[in-house]
């Protein structure tokens, strides 16, 4: 593994450092550069950013164009209500998205491990659930901003808890107020699924990023799969799904053709939702 890592570093260091001499060499291979990799558009690399400075024409491919058009439609001129479903393990990894979209969305549904930081910030006991203690004040500020902006913020009302972080863990379903001290929440429960279903009933634009539970463990896949079904059923809404586990749930359910757009981007999807410019897009001569 050490040898493999060293080899990768040797091969790719000019690429990842956006070495301009390396970018010039790449540019000499063509007159026209087409970037069709939305998944790497957030990286300022030689093959995604530097090369565009040295070719005659740098344009977006059809996939990249499609990704940007869908996201712009959802964020710049959305049909309302606009609803964000956000999940994943940590608030810190989605903080930029939450803070940026608080200015735009009508409703925000929070699930996954990050929800327990919000629940604790709201004054509830969450047992051994994952909590980013350093972000408790930030979570409170987000809840206050949501209220001030007229954004309806939804947190889980029940929790599927485990005695250990394991696919073989013993589980116990409780309300959000009754999580045992010796257990950790690893998924949302049926009452939360029903709450989220009601919140999405009138949605006209839906953005979904991040799982509702520990998706890699079958016992804690329920929430993510159910939310996937609900999103797919909202045929009158523009539905955009991004992120590995969210997209995997849609594909596992065989519903990818019922979703308007399943993004190929992970980091790029989050950067765009955070309101940041994507270097791979900004470098193009025809945007």
DSSP letter at 258 equals: G
Residues 151 and 14 in one domain: no
Residues 96 and 227 in one domain: yes
Beta-ladder partners of 109? 85, 154
For residue 267, being part of any structural domain is answered with no
Angle between helices 136-149 and 114-121 (to 10 degrees): 80
Q: Distance (Å, rounded) from C-alpha 123 to C-alpha 126?
A: 9
Report whether 268 contacts 39 (CB < 8 A).
yes
Q: What is the pLDDT of residues 40-61, one digit of tens each?
A: 999 999 999 999 999 999 999 9
The 3-class SS string of 19-61 reads CHHHHHHHHCCCCEEEECCHHHCCCCCCCCCHHHHCCCEEEEC
For residue 269, being part of any structural domain is answered with no
Residues 39 and 87 in one domain: no
Q: What is the pLDDT of residues 121-144, one digit of tens each?
A: 999 999 999 999 999 999 999 999
Of 197, 191, 102, the closest CA to residue 153 belongs to: 102
Q: How many domains are there within the chain?
A: 2
pLDDT at 245 over 90: no
Report whether 104 contacts 82 (CB < 8 A).
yes
Residues 35 and 85 in one domain: no
**What pLDDT is attached to residue 11?**
57
Residues 60 and 195 in one domain: no
Residues 60 and 116 in one domain: no
Pairing of strands 152-154, 238-242: unpaired
Q: Distance (Å, rounded) from C-alpha 94 to C-alpha 89?
A: 9
Going by pLDDT thresholds of 50, 70 and 90, the confidence category of residue 286 is low
Going by pLDDT thresholds of 50, 70 and 90, the confidence category of residue 13 is confident
For residue 6, being part of any structural domain is answered with yes
Q: What CA–CA distances, in Å, run from 149 to 64, 142, 195?
A: 32, 10, 21
For residue 270, being part of any structural domain is answered with no
Looking up residue 153, the CATH number of its domain turns out to be: 3.40.50.1260
For residue 247, being part of any structural domain is answered with no
Residues 33 and 152 in one domain: no
Q: What CA–CA distances, in Å, run from 148 to 132, 167, 231, 241?
A: 24, 40, 27, 27
Q: What is the pLDDT of residues 191-220, one digit of tens each?
A: 999 999 999 999 999 999 999 999 999 999
Residues 85 and 225 in one domain: yes
Domain that holds residue 52: 2-65+276-282
Residues 135 and 210 in one domain: yes
Residues 114 and 51 in one domain: no
Average pLDDT, the chain: 93
Of 51, 63, 25, 96, the closest CA to residue 280 belongs to: 51
pLDDT at 287 over 50: no
Residues 59 and 86 in one domain: no
Going by pLDDT thresholds of 50, 70 and 90, the confidence category of residue 5 is very low
Beta-ladder partners of 85? 109, 208
For residue 24, being part of any structural domain is answered with yes
For residue 261, being part of any structural domain is answered with no
For residue 125, being part of any structural domain is answered with yes
Q: Which whole number is the average pLDDT over 241-253?
A: 88
Residues 112 and 228 in one domain: yes
Picking from 219, 236, 253, the residue at the C-terminal end of a domain is: 236
Q: What pTM did the predictor assign?
A: 0.91
């Amino acid at each position: 593994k050490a040898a493999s890592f060293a080899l990768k570093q040797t091969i790719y260091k000019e690429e990842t450092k956006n070495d301009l001499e390396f970018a010039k060499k790449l540019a000499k291979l063509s007159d026209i550069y087409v970037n069709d990799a939305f998944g790497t558009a957030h990286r300022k690399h030689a093959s995604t950013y530097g090369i565009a400075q040295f070719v005659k024409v740098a344009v977006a491919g059809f996939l990249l164009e499609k990704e940007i058009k869908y996201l712009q439609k959802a964020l710049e001129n959305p049909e309302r209500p606009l609803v964000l479903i956000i999940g994943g393990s940590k608030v810190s990894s989605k903080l930029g998205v939450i803070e940026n979209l608080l200015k735009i969305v009508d409703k925000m549904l929070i699930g996954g491990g990050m929800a327990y930081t919000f629940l604790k910030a709201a004054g509830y006991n969450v047992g051994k659930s994952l909590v980013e203690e350093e972000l408790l004040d930030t979570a409170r500020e987000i809840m206050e901003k949501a209220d001030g902006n007229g954004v309806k913020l939804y947190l889980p009302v029940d929790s599927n808890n485990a005695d250990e972080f394991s696919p073989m863990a013993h589980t116990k379903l409780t309300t959000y107020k009754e999580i045992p001290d010796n257990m950790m929440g690893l998924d949302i429960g049926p009452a939360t699924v029903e709450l989220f279903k009601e919140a999405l009933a009138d949605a006209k634009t839906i953005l979904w990023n991040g799982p509702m539970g520990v998706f890699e463990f079958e016992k804690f896949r329920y929430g993510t799969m159910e939310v996937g079904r609900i999103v797919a059923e909202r045929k009158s809404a523009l539905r955009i799904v991004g992120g590995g586990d969210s997209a995997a749930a849609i594909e596992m359910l065989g519903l990818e053709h019922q979703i308007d757009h399943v993004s190929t981007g992970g980091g790029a999807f989050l950067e765009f939702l955070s309101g940041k410019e994507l270097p791979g897009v900004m470098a193009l001569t025809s945007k």
